[in-house]
Chains A and B, each alone.
Chain A
């Protein structure tokens, strides 16, 4: 045994027993490396990163990472039959749980049609071992190794659990008081929400639903214009994207009036830990903060973005990022046990400028996409967004029990239209 799983890692292992909770990253390649080169690169990465040769053992009531007896990373090679084939591969990857007791918590599919043809590589990892920062870095390392086989990447040690890097004020009796304060705010938020949401449409809870994915992007000019507008308005891109998402979902799914909508905001904890954990270390070091926002009928994009910006900033200053992580396991157990509520209306993970280059030797990237599995108790609409090659990439995920492809595409188009037109 190497180390006990942290709170968030444990939560994700618990969720994995009920629903797949995976991250799928897809790169669209030109000048594709031969499959054996990709296999060799994956083997080198598995030697470098302890979590890629990890399995999870349970002893009494705790989970532990064990680093022995794990097989090599499976890479399935499929003949590439169409330019859209990879999306079905991603959906399959998101729907297929990992057996964490045997590991490894990673697998790949390579759609290859020869050195001269385009190819797609889909990596899938269980969310406990990877977050956005480390996923991007992992793909960067993989492509570096594929481009230059003599690249040497040193072996890394297993990074500590997230909460071991939290500041002292979150430990001991002061930590207990901070947690109680956070819980009190959550209960007050729930009471306010229930009162305001009376008569409002509730997203149904289906017995099952399959993850479906879409991808769209804004061109360079539109992305640059959006960035400039955000700076002028002094709001983060995350707040603007989230505002567009909530305004469209309210209008199209939830109706008129002033309605409280809940959205998840994701924040990397890596730079705030003591010591900070760099992206070269795999791990799931982020917080999920749920915000309840009263979306008023007369709000435009920038007014709502400003509200979200202030909400997020205030929560971060209070330390809610860390506190929400510490209570994740209890909250998730309650949600999985009750199965009576959906966690939020929407979730948006904006991860900034992706740390993946556009070219690695002869390999040129024509696209970089990522999604995270959702399940029937999760938000009704989710998106992963990032800036890649100076473009805003918007990767939508929905459950086919919630909506059809045409509806998901229409919602996404409206969100992107709003981001381009609402000045």
Chain B
């Protein structure tokens, strides 16, 4: 079960970056939300700043949907 506060913050970052009103937590970030590579950099940098974490580049291929991003943020936040 995802931490609701982390999920809400990640969804907010995605909404702001991609200019969307609603973001489904199961949505695929590139395929369904239409994020381009420059959006991905901004999204990752924004969540890193917000949660004071550093996500390894090697994690990025596994972040396919919003829930994946939430899980990665949770993992890094708990390790911090």
Contact = CB atoms under 8 A, between A and B. Distances in A.
B31 A317 contact: no
B5 to A, nearest CB: 23
B41 A230 contact: yes
A78 B30 CA distance: 43
Nearest to A230: B41
A313 B44 contact: no
A223 B44 CA distance: 17
B56 to A, nearest CB: 8
B37 interface: yes
A320 B37 CA distance: 15
Contacts, number: 54
Interface stretch (A31-39, A47-55, A233-241): A233-241
What is the size category of the interface that chain A forms with chain B?
A: 20 to 34
A255 B41 CA distance: 32
A272 B37 CA distance: 12
Contacts of B30: 271-272
Given A231-B48, A234-B42, A353 B37 contact: no
Given A271-B31, A387-B57, A313 B48 contact: no
Size band of the B side of the interface? 20 to 34
A231 B61 contact: no
Please classify the interface of chain B as helix (H, G, I), strand (E, B), loop, or mixed, using the class held by over half of its residues.
helix
A175 interface: no
B38 A236 contact: yes
A390 interface: yes
A313 B36 contact: yes
A234 B41 contact: yes
B61 A272 contact: no
Interface of B: 28, 30-31, 34, 36-42, 44-45, 48, 54, 56-58, 60-61
14 contacts: A230-B41, A231-B44, A236-B37, A236-B40, A237-B57, A271-B28, A271-B30, A276-B31, A312-B38, A316-B37, A316-B38, A352-B60, A353-B58, A390-B58
Interface of A: 223-224, 227-228, 230-232, 234-239, 267, 271-272, 276, 309, 312-313, 316-317, 352-353, 355, 387, 390
Given A236-B40, A237-B57, 10 more contacts: A230-B41, A232-B45, A236-B38, A238-B37, A271-B28, A309-B38, A312-B38, A313-B38, A352-B61, A353-B60
